Amino acid sequence: MPHKPFLLGSGTADIARSAAILKSGGLVAFPTETVYGLGADATNGEAVARIFEAKGRPRFNPLISHVAAAEDARRLGVFDAAADKLAAAFWPGPLTLVLRRRADCPVSLLASAGLETIAVRVPGHPLARALLAAAERPVAAPSANRSGAISPTAAAHVLASLGDRIDAILDGGAATVGIESTVIDLSGEGPVLLRPGGVPRAAIEALAGALAAPRPGAPLNAPGLLASHYAPGLPLRLEAKAAKPEEALLAFGAPVPRGAALTLNLSARGDLTEAAANLFAHLHALDRPDLAAIAVMPIPNEGLGEAINDRLRRAAAPR
């Protein structure tokens, strides 16, 4: 239901109110020094799903987890020497590091789009840091604009683009950097520049050595096409109406066909937001080498269902 979000300032009460909204699973747009972010509790899969819903993204791409301090980032990803150096030099600031997820990383797999890596950043804007400290959890946030629109550098841009789809906007004035953070992938052999941004390449290369370009054919905005993207070991059988005893069944809604070796339901009540939140975790759990395939019940292609089906088709593609 369309509604007007609270437009909040930078006072202590505004920050506390925004943090409470985040903790209860709501969406808060907040300023960073690069662009405004559309934030949700990164550890809450349904809250993360609402980000994709609000942005109207037809597919899931991985989101940056924002934290108040480098110590908090260490609980999410695996730091090597290069990560230590870059974090010390550029955080808080417009730098995002893509790291391997720690085994105990609490961030929803949906925020990582099912990848085994996690993007983390400590933003420099004081209001962002105050919000993150008050939220006491990582906050997943893409730029706060509708899919395909320009990144917002003022609260008014967010209001115009997403005003009827979010719970609150923290107004911190104009974003000073105005372009998104530089994204460096440290999860592989050497550092890779995934996206140029607020920290110039030369400043990073001075500390971490030469930055490689992303592999050709691995467009950043189509992470589902990355070779490293999580795909189940088992083949997927889409639009399944019945289940076989040697299959795992990824169900949706009710009634659920019986007879699969193992069944997990994305959402027994047929809720697409809940289904998106469960998608990657359920695929992981069903991907058992002793089974023959994952049968997937039909999922309506509306709302978040479009992104869910996009991801399932990619996972089902021959490789």
Residue 264 binds to ligand TXA (criterion: CB under 6 A): no
Which entry of Mg ion, ligand TXA, none binds 223, CB below 5 to 8 A by partner kind? ligand TXA
Q: Residue 273 binds what, of ligand TXA, Mg ion, none (CB under 5 to 8 Å, by partner type)?
A: none
61 lies in the site for ligand TXA, by CB under 6 A = yes
Write down the least CB distance from residue 199 to ligand TXA, Å.
10
Candidates 63, 87, 186, 315: give the one binding ligand TXA (CB under 6 A).
63
Beta-strand pair 117-121/95-100 = antiparallel
Of positions 44, 96, 108, 309, contacts ligand TXA by CB under 6 A: 96
Which residue in 18, 108, 143, 161 binds ligand TXA (CB under 6 A)?
A: 143
- CA–CA distance, 32 with 23 (Å, rounded to integer): 19
Q: Does 153 bind Mg ion (CB under 5 A)?
A: no
Q: Which token pair is 165?
A: 């789809």
Q: Which of 65, 263 has the CB closer to ligand TXA? A: 65
Is residue 64 a contact residue for ligand TXA (CB under 6 A)? yes
For Mg ion, the closer CB: 32 or 143: 143
CB of 309 to Mg ion, least distance (A): 22
Does 117 bind ligand TXA (CB under 6 A)? Our answer is: yes
Is residue 34 close enough to count as binding ligand TXA by CB under 6 A?
A: yes
- Residue 124's binding partner out of Mg ion, ligand TXA, none, with CB under 5 to 8 Å set by partner kind: none
The beta strands (E) that lie in the chain are given as: 6-8, 28-30, 37-41, 64-66, 95-100, 117-121, 139-140, 168-170, 182-185, 192-195, 236-237, 247-251, 262-265, 293-296
Residue 40 CB contacts under 8 Å (≥ 6 apart), including other chains = 22, 25, 26, 27, 28, 47, 48, 50, 51, 139, 140, 141
d(CA 85, CA 122): 14
Binding partner of residue 63 among ligand TXA, Mg ion, none, CB under 5 to 8 Å per kind?
Answer: ligand TXA
Task: Write out the two tokens for 188.
Answer: 């592989």
Q: Least distance (Å) from ligand TXA to the CB of residue 297?
A: 28
Nearer Cβ to ligand TXA, position 70 or 220? 220
Q: Using CA atoms, how far apart are residues 206 and 201, in angstroms rounded to an integer?
A: 9
Nearer to Mg ion, 124 or 142 (CB): 142
Among residues 83, 110, 119, 208, which is the contact residue for ligand TXA, using CB under 6 A? 119
Read off the DSSP letter of residue 12: H
- Asked if 312 interacts with ligand TXA (CB under 6 A), we say no
User: What is the DSSP-derived secondary structure letter of residue 211?
Assistant: P
Out of 44, 117, 143, 153, the only residue in the binding site for Mg ion (CB under 5 A) is: 143
Q: Is 33 helix (H, G, I), strand (E, B) or coil?
A: coil
Characterize 146-177 residue by residue with b for buried, 16 or more Cβ atoms within 10 angstroms of its Cβ, and e for exposed.
beeeebbbbbebbbebbbebbbbbbbbeebeb
Q: How far apart are CA 280 and CA 298, in angstroms?
A: 16
Residue type (1 letter), 19: A
Contacts to Mg ion by CB under 5 A: 143
Contacts to ligand TXA by CB under 6 A: 32, 34-35, 37, 61-64, 94, 96, 98, 112, 115, 117-119, 121, 123, 141-143, 180-181, 183, 185, 194-195, 220, 223
